[in-house]
Chain A
């Protein structure tokens, strides 16, 4: 249901392009997401804050959602764009289930899909203002990847978005090792989130 009232914004110098959406500004944003691989899978943490500019307006925003049977998606950035991404993924998973062929989309596939979506939107100068973290386990294989709003994607043993990149990743680089136990992984994530709470203005102390 697309309703584009074709009104010329008065301060636009764009001419005939002014109908299409151009660079957007994020309104309600979420802050960092941190994730790491441990012995049996993936651990991910995000706080539940939604900032409106500099004010912390919403304190119960869910920024992580399970996708299909195998993956978990966490997002920072504009929450409305994240909700839209969830809708796209719902559709994707639905179609996958309708095949009813016993196979289901794993984290790598979902990550690839998201990369394409983000990159294509960026090419049209209409980005989804999010940095995404996608993690999951399929058939015992662990996968952890990230996509930024301009389409940069990579996978690694530990990823973070936003402030987490600067504050959490150094901690993770030093203290991460293969075969972390669940407790150790949780402790490590807690350490990262605590640092973020200290130093990130938009963090709240309610975690998901």
Chain B
């Protein structure tokens, strides 16, 4: 990810976001700092945004881009839920995000992790990095702070954890 924020210093999040699946659902985690260059613009930002009752998204990258994408997707999902007559699946939410990310890849700079639960597939995590690739993963990490976590997760992650174990790992 581009880290040369000094020139214009757009509101960008120096973020770490994590999503983990476990038996029975998902756990999402994020830090709360938004920085503009070197200054911390908001030290209590909420980077986990709700899309529907059962699907949430962790946002990283440009604050504006990720907010607008999640707003659009929430709007579409709302209509989709009404039409469908039942809660939207995580896959649909992730695909909507992917469509927006992919078709506007030149203009958006945001990496997202979609996590949620639906009755068909249970808890699922989808990572959608820059460029709009959709990749389903048992756990996902993102944001500029995630580089430090790759090694940790490679070692500590295992299949079939309980909710408590997953939360412990997040912290």
Contact = CB atoms under 8 A, between A and B. Distances in A.
**Are A and B a genuine interacting pair, yes or no?**
yes
Interface of A: 1-5, 7, 9-10, 21-22, 24, 26-28, 50, 52, 55, 57-58, 60-61, 78-80, 83-84
Interface residues of B, number: 23
Contacts, number: 61
B130 interface: yes
Given A3-B104, A21-B106, A58 B130 contact: no
Interface stretch (B15-23, B43-51, B133-141): B133-141
A1 B99 contact: yes
Contacts of B63: none
A50 B135 contact: yes
Nearest to B72: A3
B159 to A, nearest CB: 13
A159 B102 CA distance: 29
A3 B147 CA distance: 31
Interface string B131-171: 11111010000000001001000000000000000000000
B135 A58 contact: yes
Nearest to A126: B106
A114 B103 CA distance: 20
Contacts of A58: 127, 135, 137
Contacts of A2: 103
A4 B104 contact: yes
A27 B131 contact: yes
A24 B133 contact: no
Contact of B103 (A3, A9, A78): A3
- Of listed A24, A57, A58, A84, residue having the most chain B CB within 10 A: A57
Interface of B: 8, 72, 98-107, 127, 129-135, 137, 147, 150
A113 to B, nearest CB: 20
A21 B106 CA distance: 7
B132 A80 contact: yes
Q: Which 10 pairs, one residue from A and one from B, show the smallest C-beta to C-beta distance?
A: A27-B131, A80-B133, A80-B132, A79-B133, A28-B133, A27-B130, A80-B131, A80-B102, A21-B106, A1-B99
A4 B106 CA distance: 10
Nearest to B141: A57
A123 B147 CA distance: 37
A24 to B, nearest CB: 7
A78 B137 contact: no
A22 B106 contact: yes
A55 B99 CA distance: 25
B106 A26 contact: no
B87 to A, nearest CB: 21
A78 B131 contact: yes
Given A22-B106, A24-B105, A3 B100 contact: yes
28 contacts: A1-B103, A2-B103, A3-B72, A3-B103, A3-B104, A4-B103, A4-B104, A7-B107, A9-B107, A27-B131, A27-B133, A28-B129, A28-B130, A28-B131, A28-B133, A55-B150, A58-B127, A61-B135, A78-B131, A78-B133, A79-B131, A80-B98, A80-B131, A80-B132, A80-B134, A83-B98, A83-B133, A83-B134
